[in-house]
Structure 1
Amino acid sequence: FSMIIGYARVSTDDQRLDLQLAALKEAGCKNIFQDHGATGSHMDRPGLENVLRALKPGDTLVVWRLDRLGRSLTDLVRFIEELGERGCEFRSLNEAIDTSTSGGRLIFHIMAAFAEFERNLISERTRAGLIAARQRGRRLGRPPIALSDCDLSEARRALVERRERLGEIAARYRVSPSTLRRRLSAEGQERREPSQRPRNGAGRA
């Protein structure tokens, strides 16, 4: 036979579950799982995991209010969809959501549409931010690691005198081998340029 299972949660240990428990029992819940001091920002909670283990096809999960289950609309929709895939129903007492009724399913579909809108909005804002950053000439990704003249001199000695591998040296300075090779090449060019300039009187007829 089908069961009505309740779930109650409070965010801090000093909060009480009395109001939630009373409402869930009045709604016919014989088995109520609880989470004390558990944030609603994620769905990984011991009590909620026990709920999923206890639910069987045909059962109904009841919460006092939607935010007792979770704060993220996307997470809520995903969780309720998972219940539906397992053949379970969902009820939220304060919001009067009941997926076993046509009206409750309509409200859930509206929630799902809002969750999809929220995901698309976040994605569009992220893309717009990246485009704007590129247009401003901002470099994206990790900031480059600055190599001092001392670092380059030590890296050159390690490469030439101690015969260390370029990749090992680059890893020590947290740069890519190509970046280190490029910096060493540029430094070597700067060191050669002064000696290539003509000395006083040199080159005169």
Structure 2
Amino acid sequence: MQGEPVTYWPRATPEAERGAVRGITVVGEEVLHRPCREVAETAFGTPELAALVDDMAATNHAAEGAGLAANQVGVDLRLFVWDITDEWGVRHVGHIANPVLDDVPAEDRRLVEEPEGCLSVPGPYRVVPRLDRAVVRGRDQDGRPLVIEGRGYFARCLQHETDHLRGHLYLDRLARKERKSALQEMRDSRDQVFARRAAAARRLGK
């Protein structure tokens, strides 16, 4: 099952409209630094899982994020959402549970170095090498199989969010000096970032 193209989708998705904005975890919080649990078979199709997807979409929207993993709202589950416009002007919106990234054959592997940020590292961006193509397989909130392919910025998003579910942040891909400078920049800017997110949530009535 692939994503389905549409001619129009509202800026605030139906999920984001329904959902509540949750607090976003920050680097150093334990839930961000360990692998997440699989979404259990019994969870698919439940109101609880649907509400979590809605809340994650609302939280990502209010924070003006490209994607958000469940452990970024303090929930230890292999689940992430995305709402991202790639460099070709195509908007991608969705969610996936229990995602697994396909291996990319060596002959098709092309690393691209681009700046990358993270809602759980409020403020700094740093250059991180990522593959320019990613295919992720998993299931939607009702348990239906999903196969999502991304290129460019969307591929970076899929890899970044899958990393989160393994307990890794983009900081873990940096050299020690770069990581230290990013953490210092975060400490200097986090209050301003948090205030901006809170103001956005109020404007959205969340």
**Both proteins in one fold, TM over 0.5:** no
More strand by share: 2
Quickly name the TM-score band, shorter chain normalised: under 0.3
TM-score, normalization by structure 1: 0.23
Q: Which has the higher contact order (CA 8 A, sep 6+)?
A: 2
Larger Rg: 1
